[in-house]
Structure formats: C-alpha cells, structure tokens
Amino acid sequence: MDVERLAGWDAVLDGLREPLLADEARHNLALGILATARSSPEIYPELKGWVVRQHGTVVAGALRTPPHNLILVRPGRPGAIEALALAIDGEVPGVVGAVPEVDDFAKAWSGTRHIGLETRFDQRIYWLEEVRPTPTPPGRMRLATIGDLTLVLERFRAFSDEVRRSPVDSADDDPLPAMVENRLRSSEAGVALWEDAGQVVSLAGFGGPTPNGIRIGPVHTPREHRGRGWGTAVTAELTRLLLERGHRFCFLYTDLANPTSNAIYTRIGYEPVCDSREIAFVPGSV
C-alpha cells in the first residue's frame, strides 16, 4: 500500500472525497472541518492529510489541524490502518474516529512507538432526516447575534468543563473566545437560544456543514434549568429550522456516559450511526 501526504483543504478533500462521502454521517466531523477550512482558511492554516492507496484505490486516510488530534477516515481494506500509522511521522497528541478503526489505529500507533493509550471520550454519532413531534415547554427559540457573545462564551465554557470533567484553560491563548465569535459571525454556523420570561435557559450550537447535512452541538442547559424540556425543545426547533433551510439531515454527538441526553435525542427522531472515541497518546507511560 502507498501512503501520500497532502497539504491544504482542497488537496485533502480531493484525495479523500470518495471515502468521506461514502458515509457522510460517520465522517461528518472531517467534512465539517474541510468546509470550515474552505470558507475561513485562517482558522486551520496548517490543515494536512494522508491518503492510503492500494492499486490506485483509496482505502484509508486521515486529516489533522495541528495542534489538534488526528481524525480518521474509515478503512476499506485490511492492513490500511496499520499502513497509515507507519507512514505518519512526528508527534500526534491523539486520535479521533469511529469504532473500530480508532482502536485499530491507536493499537498500531502505540505498538510501533511504545507509548501509552488513554481513552478520553466515548461518544455516539446520531443523524436525523425528520423531526418527531415533541411537547413544547414555555418560551421560544431565537438565533444568537454577536451581541450575545459573552453569554454564549460562558455557556460553551460551562459545557466544556462538564463534558471534559476538568476546567477549560482561560489564559490569553484560550482558543474558545475566537471560536465562539467566529461561529456567531459565520453564515454557515451559529447558536440557537431558548428564552423563557426574558432569560436564556438553554442553547444549541450548529456548524460544520457537509455536502448534505450539518452538525448540531454543543447543546447545554444550566443545571438549575434542567428537567423542564428546554434542551429537547431548542434541539428539536433548531433541527427543524436547519432542515427547512435545505439540509437533508442533521448530525450530533452524544456523551455515552450521559444516558439522559441520548434518550432526549432519540425522542426527537435521531438515530444512532456508530460510536466514536477520542484516544490520547501518552509518551513515557509504557
């Protein structure tokens, strides 16, 4: 098998287009990153990728936006993941991908470099083509504007603290403020707010468009407002709006450690696609 290294969103998309689009839901994260890099190249100035070919056919691949983790493309031949792991040089903090390819890559990477592995996050990818009717709690949805930047940043930070189970760094080099501001100014992304009695009680972000869909997330309701249906309502209403805008389907990720959120999304009509895992590479732990 031959492995080719690529640089730039256009070269990566051209090289990986066929396997990415063969399973758009499974690869929505990679497709969304490529769409963002196309529309806002300053966000991912070092985007690069790898393509594994066998007899001219693309059988695996990956992309990365340093300093972030490697993102895998589903392999189509035995041995393709191992060939990829051998060909990627330099330091990589970790890998994100669907199960089982993420586990296969992590094992191959660890085995050739003698480093440890640590599972950081287990998720499930869902998709939806039609929203089911759900009870509507008090309040209404509106799309956030740049005037909501402080509130949205606060809620995104609270979400990150909860799902990562550790506080987000708030130092000057924290990327979250720029990411939130870019989302609020983007024509391809945004944040929906659910308001009741003049108070924002829940929110849902969206972005990362794919050729036929778009990803929803994060979804966050402060603890004091949970259990009243607002998270379900903002997710359902935002999903409905995005479908009305012309997207064929919507995607979202759920934390497998949170059965409540998984149950909420299935009630709306989301169906599971596959499980996804983030694995960190831990030098010196073997």
What is the per-residue pLDDT for 286? 56
Q: Dihedral sign, CA of 130, 134, 140, 145?
A: negative
What local confidence, expressed as pLDDT, does residue 259 receive?
86
Q: Contact 211/120 with Cβ under 8 angstroms?
A: no
103: left (phi over 0), alpha (psi -120 to 50) or beta: alpha
Structure tokens at 208: 């990362």
How does strand 140-143 pair with strand 190-196?
antiparallel
What's the pLDDT at 163?
75
| Domains, in order of start, for the chain | 2-123+277-282 (3.40.630), 131-268 (3.40.630.30)
- What pLDDT, on the 0 to 100 scale, is given for residue 209? 94
> Of 74, 69, 83, 99, nearest to 5 (Cα)?
83
Q: What is the mean pLDDT of each run of 10 residues along the chain (286 residues)?
A: 95 96 96 92 92 96 96 96 94 96 96 91 96 94 97 94 56 75 92 97 96 96 94 97 97 91 92 97 77
- Cis peptide bond prior to 272, omega within 30° of 0: no
Going by their DSSP bridges, the two strands 213-220 and 249-255 should be labelled as parallel
Q: How many CB atoms lie within 10 A of CB 169?
A: 11
CA 117 from centroid of its chain's CA atoms: 21
| pLDDT on residue 285 | 61
pTM: 0.91
